[in-house]
Amino acid sequence: MQAVKLSRLIDATFFKPNRFKRNRLKLQYGEIPELSSHEIAQEPVSINAENLRQYLALCQFPENAGIPASYPHLLGFKQHLRLLSNKDFPFPMGGLVHVANTIRQYGRINPDDTLLLSSSAANLQKSRRGYRFDLVSRLFNQQEQVWEDCSVYQYPIKHKSASGRQSPDRDVERKHVSNTSDTPETLGHWSVSQNHAMQYARISKDFNPIHLSNFSAKMFGLNSAIAHGMFLKSRCLAAITPAEDYPLEVSAKFLKPVCLSTPLHMWRHALDSEQTLTLTDTDNHTTYMTLNVRQVMLGRIPRPKE
């Protein structure tokens, strides 16, 4: 798999704003940059047994959990990095905010499966606070698609409000709550320490400085380091450990960043075929994330011919 050079990452993180200003002018005149060219075709990937073991232990999945729906996201991280650090990609990595993630698993994934992974950027839109787009990854075994992941990223821009219809913003999403039971079940208290953040960075290979220390986070305008959104999602998914009834959809909305060492509380609401979990502060005044797990009626997608 192609490696990403350090100089390319530095350029993608710090020096793209000048190129982005040119794209922003185009956006103001209704010209949306084309993302269809930002795609990585199918590449072979494999599951490392030791990496999987460390992931299950850190996220507190049961030992017999197999391969959780959230784990293949790690397999796609290198492809995501290559897409975002491409010199022609319109946004710098340093300013991107991960606002949502939806995973659909169509069937069981086995550690020794022969797997192919593809990734692409798509669906660039203007929102009230900037621009947002999707990063989509698809995983295939030898016969068919077994897994799909869509992460929504936002590039925030400070600008005066404009008239006209705009895409939903994080504030709008915060108001959405799935229909759930009236009496939530508490699933316990926990927090993300700096040690947890470093362990997840080593396992996922996501060494974004905003997650590692207060010092490095302040270089990017944050007051303190914040937890990886996908670690929060994985940790919450482990708390409910859904049955392997496929197709399965696991969607999360990251509503507010979680500073390291912040005390957290998990609540579960359950219906017949759906579970919703909310991650809040201990006083239940601030909601950081919502997680929804449900069965979906989807047909199998055959593996494309090479």
Task: Determine the pLDDT at residue 23.
Answer: 54
Residue 2 lies in a domain: no
Structural domain for 108, as ranges: 7-33+42-157+166-295
Task: Determine the pLDDT at residue 202.
Answer: 97
Structure-model confidence comparison of residues 29 and 86, the more confident one: 86
- pLDDT band, residue 80 (cuts 50/70/90): very high
Residue 228 lies in a domain: yes
> What residues contact residue 212 under an 8 Å CB cut-off, 6+ apart?
194, 197, 198, 201, 225
pLDDT at 294 over 70: yes
Average pLDDT over residues 19-27: 52
Neighbours of 251 (CB within 10 A): 18
Residue 304 lies in a domain: no
- The CATH number of whichever domain residue 285 belongs to comes to 3.10.129.10
pLDDT tens digits for 167-178? 345 443 444 444
Average pLDDT over residues 122-135: 87
Task: Determine the pLDDT at residue 234.
Answer: 96
Structure-model confidence comparison of residues 306 and 48, the more confident one: 48
Our count of domains for the chain comes to: 1
Residue 300 lies in a domain: no
Residue 137 lies in a domain: yes
Write down the mean pLDDT value for the chain: 82
Task: Determine the pLDDT at residue 274.
Answer: 85
